[in-house]
Every structure is written in C-alpha cells, then in structure tokens.
C-alpha cells in the first residue's frame, strides 16, 4: 500500500506541475497581443501549489515510510483517472490537436456519476467516523487542507453547474469540462482525508507541507474567484468579448489566436494559435452563457 500511495501521489504531482508548465508556455507566446489570461494566471497558481502538495506527500511516504492508509489510497486512486484524462486532453491541445471530446446525449455512465460520487463521499465520511474521527494534532498543517476542501468544493460546484447549463443547448457534454469538475471534486475529498489524518497524528508536521499548503489557500481562493466571475459573465478572458466602454460603442472582440501569434502563416504560427486556444478553452469549460442561466 505504501508503494501504491507514494507512486500515485508522485505521478499526480508531476502531472499537475506539468499543467502549469504548459499554461505558462501558452501565455508567454501570446500575452503581448492578447494580454494576460486571468484563468491562465489562476491556473498557474493552482498547478504550482497542488502539484507540489502531491509531490511532497508522495516523497515523504516513499522516502520516510510515512503512514499510508486505506482512505489515502482510495481517495487518490479515485481521482487519478480524471487527472490523467484532463492531462491527455491538454497535451493534445498543446500539440495542436482537438483538446476535447464532445459526448452527445446522456450516456449511462454520466447519469450514474452523481450517485457514484455520493456513495464515494458517504463511504469516506463513514470510514473516518468509524476510525475515530479527528483529533487536534498538527493544526498548522491540517487547517489549510480543511480550508481547501471548501474552496475546491465550490470550484467543483461552478464547473458542474456549467456542464448542466450547457447540456441542453449543446445536446451533450464536454469531456474536458467533466474531467475538470471531477478533478476538483476528488481533490476536495483528498484534502479532507489528508486533513483528518494530520489531525489524528498520522502525518507529523513538516515544513514542506506547511509552506505549500498555506500557499495553496490564496491560490485556491483566487482560482475560485476567477471561475465564479467567468461563470457569472462578469469577467473577460481570451475567449470572451469585451464590453463596450461607452454607451453606443460597438463591442470589441478579443484578438483571434492567429492574430495574436503574429502575421504570416506556417506550422509555427499554427502551433502558437492552438496554444492560445488551449488557455482560452480552459475558460470555456467553466463559463455558462447568460442566456442559459436565465440572467
């Protein structure tokens, strides 16, 4: 079990950190023409705090023989597939591919997701209670993880509502959007397990987790703010139309990815255009239109 928990966390840590690396490259290639992507900046903060959390946790387990319980293994294993699917889609978009898959209709596995996730959370909570709940050890390391449970849960709420709002007008689902919603739902559960284990004394205090997890709290809050703003339509990003500055002024669209990459054509231009679209599509995953919401 120790090897499995350590390996899963190290792989997730590397994957999440690579999310941030790809986003940084995409933003660097296009920020002069299109400006900074708010979602891209928020995602960078998330990737470079969530990734190190898993890396540090996995390395401590592998190198120090730190406790690796069944809940830790279950929470990490359940969240692993969604993280890998989203990583595959981002790599595909980064290399010039589609970066998403449309799922038409309402497949049985999607309809079963709410029930399956409810059963999953119930089992986790009941197991925690059966094992004795939580104590009050190492609060300086446990508190940020407990805060992240609420933050990631709210992010998952907005991501899920976006998919539900867009399902009827689009006639289906975005695989990228669904996997991102599942990532934050399972991440909230993982941090709950980590926090409870820490409060019980299973994970002793270490400086690495204290620093990384406390940095993750403001990063998570900013990410939640950006996601909520995009969902409500009160923020703009690379994929959005800017509002007129004065009454009667024509709307101004953000530069197209190809224009952002510069003049001319060729493979290099197309690659840069796709990278611009990749960050833009991140925001599309979390935005529901005002018409769909009835605003």
What would the pLDDT profile of 236-254 be if each residue is shown by its tens digit?
A: 676 554 443 333 433 333 3
Structure tokens at 77: 């294993």
The per-residue DSSP string of the chain comes to: -HHHHHHHHHHHHHHHHHHHHHHHHHHHHHHHHH---HHHHHHHHHHHHHHHHHHHHHHHHHHH-----HHHHHHHHHHHHHHHHHHHHHHHHHTTS----EEES--HHHHTHHHHHHHHHHHHHHHHHHTT----S-HHHHHHHHHHHHHHHHHHHHHHHHHHHHHHHHTEEEHHHHHHHHHHHHHHHHHHHHHHHHHHTSS---HHHHHHHHHHHHHHHHHHHHHHHHHHT-S--TTSEEPPSSTTPPPEEPPPHHHHH-SS-SHHHHHHHHHHHHHHHHHHHH---HHHHT-
Q: What is the distance between the alpha carbons of residues 291 and 295, in angstroms, rounded to a whole number? A: 6
The residue that leads in pLDDT, 101 or 250, is: 101
* Sign of torsion over alpha carbons 191, 195, 200, 201: positive
Task: Flag whether pLDDT at 38 surpasses 50.
Answer: yes
pLDDT of residue 286: 54
pLDDT tier for residue 110 given thresholds of 50, 70 and 90: very high
Burial class (CB in 10 A: 0-12, 13-18, 19+), 146: middle
**Torsion of the alpha carbons at 266, 267, 270 and 276, rounded to the nearest 10:** -130
pLDDT tens readout for residues 149-183: 999 999 999 999 988 888 888 888 989 889 999 99
pLDDT of residue 64: 85
Weakest mean pLDDT among 144-158, 198-212, 280-294: 280-294
The residue-averaged pLDDT of 218-247 equals 72
Q: Give the rounded distance of the alpha carbon of 35 from its chain centre.
A: 22
Q: What is the distance between the alpha carbons of residues 89 and 100, in angstroms, rounded to a whole number? A: 6
- Beta-bridge partners for 252: 242
Q: What is the distance between the alpha carbons of residues 283 and 241, in angstroms, rounded to a whole number? A: 13
pLDDT of residue 221: 96
pTM, two decimals, is: 0.80
The residue-averaged pLDDT of 260-288 equals 46
Task: Flag whether pLDDT at 52 surpasses 90.
Answer: yes
pLDDT tier for residue 134 given thresholds of 50, 70 and 90: low
* Tokens 């929470």 -> residue: 75
Q: Which percentage of the chain shows pLDDT scores above 70?
A: 76
Q: What is the distance between the alpha carbons of residues 200 and 132, in angstroms, rounded to a whole number? A: 9
The residue that leads in pLDDT, 289 or 91, is: 91
pLDDT tier for residue 40 given thresholds of 50, 70 and 90: confident
Mean pLDDT taken over the chain: 79
pLDDT of residue 187: 94
Task: Flag whether pLDDT at 291 surpasses 80.
Answer: no
């Amino acid at each position: 079990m120790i090897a499995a928990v350590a390996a899963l966390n190290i792989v997730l840590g590397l994957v999440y950190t690579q999310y941030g690396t790809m986003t940084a490259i995409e933003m660097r290639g296009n920020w002069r023409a299109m400006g900074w992507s708010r979602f891209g900046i928020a995602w960078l903060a998330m990737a470079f705090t969530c990734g190190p959390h898993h890396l540090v946790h996995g390395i401590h387990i592998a190198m120090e023989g730190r406790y690796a319980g069944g809940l830790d293994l279950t929470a990490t294993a359940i969240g692993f597939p969604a993280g890998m699917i989203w990583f595959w889609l981002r790599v595909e978009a980064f290399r010039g591919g589609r970066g998403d898959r449309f799922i038409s209709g309402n497949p049985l596995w999607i309809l079963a997701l709410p029930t399956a996730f409810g059963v999953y959370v119930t089992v986790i909570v009941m197991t925690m209670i059966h094992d004795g709940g939580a104590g009050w050890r190492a609060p300086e390391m446990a508190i940020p993880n407990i805060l992240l449970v609420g933050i990631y849960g709210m992010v998952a709420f907005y991501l899920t509502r976006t998919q539900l709002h867009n399902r009827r007008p689009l006639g289906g689902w975005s695989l990228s959007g669904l996997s991102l919603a599942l990532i934050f739902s399972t991440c909230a559960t993982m941090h709950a397990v980590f926090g409870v284990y820490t409060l019980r004394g299973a994970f002793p205090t270490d400086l690495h987790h204290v620093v990384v997890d406390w940095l993750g709290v403001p990063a998570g809050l900013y990410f939640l703010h950006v996601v909520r703003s995009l969902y409500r339509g009160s923020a703009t990003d690379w994929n959005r139309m800017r509002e007129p500055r004065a009454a009667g002024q024509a709307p101004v669209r953000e530069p197209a990815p190809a224009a952002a990459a510069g003049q001319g054509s060729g493979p290099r231009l197309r690659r840069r255009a796709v990278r611009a679209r990749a960050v833009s599509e991140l925001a599309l995953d979390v935005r529901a239109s005002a018409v769909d919401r009835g605003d």
